[in-house]
Amino acid sequence: MAGWLRLARGIDGTTTAVGTWFSWLSVVMVLLGAYNAVVRYLGRYLGTHLSSNAYIELQWYMFSLLFLMGAAYTLRQNRHVRVDVIYGRLRPRARAWIDLAGTVLFLIPFSVSAIVLTWPPVRNSWAVLEVSPDPGGLPRYPIKSMILVAFALLLLQGAAETIRAVAAIRGHGPGDAETERARGGGG
């Protein structure tokens, strides 16, 4: 089990690094949004166009990246939405069983389905080098590719959560994922 837990910690480290890096994108997105708003009104006042569709689309792309790349990081940090009426009152081993069932029955199949269903549109987008139909718009194929990357990362983090849950059930883990995170384990 120690080797599997090392693998889970490696995945956690990758997810944390990606999540941390992409969290800085929120600052850039807010600054770009502020710029777009200011120059739109300033341009009206001056009678010229100071912004473009590319800036507006770039802001939307950044928002999409934050949402997509933040999913695995949110799971890693145990901040995903959960109805905690019963779960919080259970013992760590019972929580591990719930985490295992949820991950194996829902998260992993959903992630695999998303990758399989997204692959053809992404492939087609790359084949034609899809670009936004708006004047001055940005290429769409790179942002569409990030859907695959995001779900692959979510799938990997799901594997790490599965390993941690199995370890807790077998008595080899710290009890549950939240306890390990509180101890500073896993990256």
**Tens-place pLDDT, residues 51-101:** 888 999 999 999 999 999 999 999 998 887 776 778 888 899 999 998 999
Dihedral of the CA atoms 94, 14, 2, 76 (nearest 10)? Answer: -10
Cα–Cα nearest to 146, from 75, 71, 64 = 64
Largest CA distance in the chain: 70
Q: How far apart are CA 33 and CA 50, in angstroms?
A: 13
Cα–Cα nearest to 186, from 64, 109, 165, 52 = 165
pLDDT digits (tens, 9 = 90+) for 152-170: 999 999 999 999 999 999 9
The predicted model gives 132-151 an average pLDDT of 93
pLDDT the model gives residue 50: 80
91-115 residues labelled b (16+ CB within 10 A) or e (exposed): ebeebbeebbebbeeebbeebeebb
Q: What are phi and psi of 139, to 5 degrees?
A: -65, 145
Identify whether the C-beta of residue 5 lies closer than 8 Å to the C-beta of residue 187: no
Number of folded domains in the chain? 1
Cα 101 to its chain centre, rounded Å, is: 21
Strands, E, within 2-150: which ranges? none
The predicted model gives 103-115 an average pLDDT of 97
For residue 8, give its domain range.
2-183
